[in-house]
Amino acid sequence: MAEDATLNLLEQQEKNRRQTTIWMVAFILFFAWIGFGGDLVLYLGSKDAYGTAHYRVPWVGIVVTTIAAVVTWNAWRRGPRQLLAAAGAREITDPTTQEERTLVNVVEEMAIAGGLPRPKIYIIEDDDPNAFATGHGPESASVAVTRGLLTTLNREELQGVVGHEMAHVRNLDVRLMTTIAALAGVIVLLSDLLGRSFRHGGVRVGGGRRGRGGGGALVLVVLVLWVITLILAPLIVRLMAMAVSRNREYLADATGAELTRNPGALASALQKIEGAHAPTKSIAKSTAQLCIADPLGRAVNAKEGAMANLFGTHPPMPKRLARLRGMAFQAAKAAGELPAQR
């Protein structure tokens, strides 16, 4: 059984490494299309009545693809720090309150239980209870919790939440999700900048008699496809990030419960977190999929089905609670702690 669990863990880690690489390559290819697609529009649009193109050097593609490569590397290297900084997280190096000391002790316990290095620990000064983990892997991971989480949960419940986040670290979910979150933010920004540049710069479709014929129609088709890509890319990348996140929460719940050997505590913690209706204002939309519960409180995360799987960042909380309580029941039954039935 333990051998199967280890194999599944290794398979999950390898899958996450592979998907991280795919996302980074896809990001660069996306901007190559945005850049060279823009060059194609400018090339076709610069043809005169005799079919001679006056735009010959693909500067847009060269510049945009170079920027994409640099940004991808920067997002990979600095993504975790940027996400923590955006949330206003403060690292705990010398705990000053009992709540902070308890948090440090719990994180150390869960790191030992998971056979992992102790991650850096951060506090977010927000009253809404929530938590997330980030980093490139176990050696560089960070766990961030809100002040509200510390004041809302008891020690066992806090242990359940930290165990869940350490599960994300052990499964290498943090590597994949942090990269996606960083790249998604960059895609939104650069798509907007490119769109503004071409709107203000204008594109001349065709020229002379030949430009008003089939050549002009071709330019129009390419231009429409290029603009659609600019418009839909931010939405598509966010939907993909949401779908990836939702599938990993069940695994992290189960792995976290395995680390604490107390699935009921995590269920109790999630119920309290769900009961706090206020959004976690300190956590940005691009970071929502990293959190243990949706920081924005969107109704779609309470639903099931194809649309919910597409637009939701987290599985329905009742379903997560039911699974954890089922695990708690089975554990109690195996330990002989259930009352005898009459």
> Which residues are catalytically annotated?
165
Q: 2-45 and 173-201 helices cross at what angle (nearest 10)?
A: 10
Strand positions, DSSP E, 289-331: none
Give the whole-angstrom CA distance, residue 313 versus residue 311: 7
- 144 φ/ψ angles, rounded to the nearest 5 degrees: -120, 135
Strand positions, DSSP E, 31-188: 90-91, 120-124, 131-134, 142-146
Distances (CA, A) of 24 to 31, 70, 144: 11, 11, 25
Q: Which two tokens stand for residue 136?
A: 């490139």
Query: What is the CA 241 to chain-centroid distance, rounded?
Result: 5
Residue 55 amino acid letter: Y
Distances (CA, A) of 224 to 77, 219, 229, 232, 336: 35, 9, 9, 12, 66
Give the whole-angstrom CA distance, residue 43 versus residue 106: 61
Give the whole-angstrom CA distance, residue 228 versus residue 334: 56
Give the whole-angstrom CA distance, residue 176 versus residue 23: 9
Distances (CA, A) of 279 to 71, 128, 144, 169, 298: 30, 7, 16, 25, 9
Nearest to 223 by CA among 20, 54, 38: 38
